[in-house]
Amino acid sequence: MTSLRSFPAHEAGAIGSPIINGANRRTSDGFRHRTLSALLQEVNDTVPLRDRSDLSSFVNWKGNAESPIHRWLRYREAYSPNLITKLGLGDNILDPFCGCGSILIGAAENGNASTGIDINPLAIFAAKVKLTPLSRTQLTAVKQYINGLEAAIDSANRWPIPGLSIASKVFEPTILDTLLRIRSLTESSFSGDKESRDFLHLAWVAILEKVGSYFKEGNGIKYRNKKRLKTGYIHRPEGQWQLERFGCDQRKFTLDTFCAHVRMMIQDARFWRKGAWRDQIAIEGNVLEMDRFLPGKKFDSIVFSPPYANRFDYFESMKVELWFGGFVDSYESIGRFRKASLRSHLGADLNRSCQSVANLERFIALMDKDASSWRMGVPDLLRGYFDDMRVTLKHCRSALAGGKCFIVVGNSAFAGVIIPTDVMLANLGLECGFRKAEILVARHLTVAPQQRNRLQSLEDNMRESVVVLS
Ligand SMILES: C[S@@+](CC[C@H](N)C(=O)[O-])C[C@H]1O[C@@H](n2cnc3c(N)ncnc32)[C@H](O)[C@@H]1O
3-state secondary structure of 217: strand
Ordered alpha helix ranges (H), 190-249: 194-211, 240-246
Cross-strand partners of 228: 233
- 338: CA distance to ligand 1 center in Å? 12
Domain's final residue, options 253, 271, 289 = 271
Which atom of ligand 1 is closest in space to residue 102's alpha carbon?
8
Cross-strand partners of 464: 410, 443
Which atom of ligand 1 is closest in space to residue 340's alpha carbon?
19
Q: Is residue 151 part of a domain?
A: yes
Distance CA 107, CA 370 (A): 47
Range of the domain at 399: 9-121+277-322+329-469
- 1: CA distance to ligand 1 center in Å? 11
- 98: CA distance to ligand 1 center in Å? 6
If one counts the domains in the chain, the total is 2
Q: Is residue 2 part of a domain?
A: no
pLDDT score, position 26 = 62
Do residue 287 and residue 382 come from a single domain? yes
- 459: CA distance to ligand 1 center in Å? 26
Distance CA 457, CA 453 (A): 9
What radius of gyration do the chain's Cα atoms show? 23
pLDDT score, position 231 = 81
Q: Is residue 131 part of a domain?
A: no
Neighbouring C-beta atoms of residue 14, cutoff 10 Å: 18
Distance CA 414, CA 451 (A): 9
Q: What are phi and psi of 250, to 5 degrees?
A: -70, -30
Neighbouring C-beta atoms of residue 443, cutoff 10 Å: 18
Which atom of ligand 1 is closest in space to residue 341's alpha carbon?
16
> Do the beta carbons of residue 450 and residue 7 sit within 8 Å?
yes
> Do the beta carbons of residue 423 and residue 447 sit within 8 Å?
no
Do residue 87 and residue 150 come from a single domain? no
Task: Name the residue of 61, 74, 93, 118 to mutate for ligand 1: max ligand atoms within 8 A of Cβ.
Answer: 118
Distance CA 430, CA 20 (A): 42
Look at residues 335, 283, 342 and name the one whose alpha carbon lies nearest to residue 307.
Answer: 342
Residues 6+ apart with CB under 8 A from 439: 47, 48, 49, 50, 422, 423, 426, 465, 466, 467, 468
Q: Is residue 127 part of a domain?
A: no
Do residue 208 and residue 283 come from a single domain? no
> Do the beta carbons of residue 186 and residue 259 sit within 8 Å?
no
3-state secondary structure of 377: coil
Which atom of ligand 1 is closest in space to residue 123's alpha carbon?
27
Which atom of ligand 1 is closest in space to residue 306's alpha carbon?
10
Domain's final residue, options 271, 288, 307 = 271
Do residue 337 and residue 458 come from a single domain? yes
CATH number of the domain to which 308 belongs: 3.40.50.150
Cα 89 to chain center, whole Å?
22
Cα distance from N-terminal residue to C-terminal residue, the chain = 24
- 213: CA distance to ligand 1 center in Å? 26
Which atom of ligand 1 is closest in space to residue 286's alpha carbon?
20
Q: Is residue 441 part of a domain?
A: yes
What is the helix (H) or strand (E) element at residue 73, kind and residue range?
none
Q: Is residue 126 part of a domain?
A: no
Do residue 76 and residue 25 come from a single domain? yes
- 6: CA distance to ligand 1 center in Å? 18
Q: Tens-digit pLDDT profile for the chain (470 aa)?
A: 433 333 232 232 233 334 445 666 666 788 889 999 999 999 999 999 999 999 999 998 776 778 899 999 999 889 999 999 999 999 999 999 999 999 999 999 999 999 999 999 999 999 999 999 999 999 999 999 999 999 999 999 999 999 999 999 999 999 999 999 999 999 999 999 999 999 999 999 999 999 999 999 888 999 999 888 878 888 888 899 999 999 999 999 999 999 999 999 999 999 999 999 999 999 999 999 999 989 889 999 999 999 999 999 999 999 999 999 999 999 999 999 999 999 999 999 999 989 989 899 999 999 999 999 999 999 999 999 999 999 999 999 999 998 999 999 999 999 999 999 999 999 999 999 999 999 999 999 988 877 788 899 999 999 999 999 99
Do residue 200 and residue 311 come from a single domain? no
Do residue 50 and residue 111 come from a single domain? yes
Do residue 286 and residue 395 come from a single domain? yes
Look at residues 114, 164, 447 and name the one whose alpha carbon lies nearest to residue 324.
Answer: 164
pLDDT score, position 63 = 67
Do residue 214 and residue 340 come from a single domain? no
Task: Name the residue of 62, 84, 97, 389 to mutate for ligand 1: max ligand atoms within 8 A of Cβ.
Answer: 97
- pLDDT, tens only, 27-59: 678 888 999 999 999 999 999 999 999 999 999
- 104: CA distance to ligand 1 center in Å? 14
Collect contacts of 210-216 with beta carbons under 8 A, ≥24 apart: 210/257, 211/171, 211/175, 211/179, 211/246, 211/253, 211/254, 211/257, 211/258, 212/170, 212/171, 212/175, 212/320, 213/169, 213/170, 213/171, 213/172, 213/242, 214/170, 214/320, 216/76, 216/317, 216/318
Q: Per-residue b/e over 371-391, b at no fewer than 16 CB within 10 Å? A: bbbbeeebbbbbbbbbbbbbb
- 291: CA distance to ligand 1 center in Å? 17
- 423: CA distance to ligand 1 center in Å? 20
Q: Is residue 101 part of a domain?
A: yes
Residues within a 6 A CB radius of ligand 1: 75, 77-79, 97-100, 102, 117-120, 123, 286-288, 305-307, 314, 341-342
pLDDT score, position 221 = 95
Do residue 245 and residue 369 come from a single domain? no
Do residue 226 and residue 294 come from a single domain? no
Task: Name the residue of 73, 77, 93, 125 to mutate for ligand 1: max ligand atoms within 8 A of Cβ.
Answer: 77
Which atom of ligand 1 is closest in space to residue 75's alpha carbon?
9
Do residue 196 and residue 302 come from a single domain? no
- 99: CA distance to ligand 1 center in Å? 5
Task: Name the residue of 119, 129, 308, 311 to mutate for ligand 1: max ligand atoms within 8 A of Cβ.
Answer: 119
Q: Is residue 210 part of a domain?
A: yes
- 359: CA distance to ligand 1 center in Å? 25
Q: How far is CA 73 from CA 102, 261, 296, 466, in A?
A: 11, 10, 33, 24
